[in-house]
Amino acid sequence: EAGVVQSPRYKIIEKKQPVAFWCNPISGHNTLYWYRQNLGQGPELLIRYENEEAVDDSQLPKDRFSAERLKGVDSTLKIQPAELGDSAVYLCASSFSYEQYFGPGTRLTVT
């Protein structure tokens, strides 16, 4: 069974540029999560989807971050415009019940 797929794996952009991350969850997993992991820290939840519905986006900085999960499968997380402090690893996870499986992450560097 394929795991959670994320792309790109690495992204370097200049501040004020837009950036997007893509996630394909494990087949059949209706819950999808986006986390951000800063250096030396544990991941922090940004948004959780149940199928197409964002059921918890309280930690998503809505002035510059947006996310969508069309058709309840793939998801895209966007930052526009990016700031220096957005440099981090962005992790996607999916679950069917209580076990959350993570993708390899996208390492974003904002210069």
Partner 1 sequence: GEDVEQSLFLSVREGDSSVINCTYTDSSSTYLYWYKQEPGAGLQLLTYIFSNMDMKQDQRLTVLLNKKDKHLSLRIADTQTGDSAIYFCAESERSGGGADGLTFGKGTHLIIQP
**How far is Cα 46 from Cα 80, in angstroms, rounded to an integer?**
15
Which residues face 23 on adjacent strands? 6, 75
Taking the complex as a whole, the smallest distance from the CB of residue 60 to partner 1 amounts, in Å, to 11
Our CB check for partner 1 shows the closer of 20 and 102 to be: 102
Taking the complex as a whole, the smallest distance from the CB of residue 80 to partner 1 amounts, in Å, to 23
Of 13-21, 67-75, 78-86, 92-100, the window that binds partner 1 (rule: CB under 8 A) is 92-100
Our CB check for partner 1 shows the closer of 5 and 20 to be: 5
Q: Which residue is associated with the tokens 């820290």?
A: 41
| Pick from 42, 21, 31: nearest CA to 90 | 21
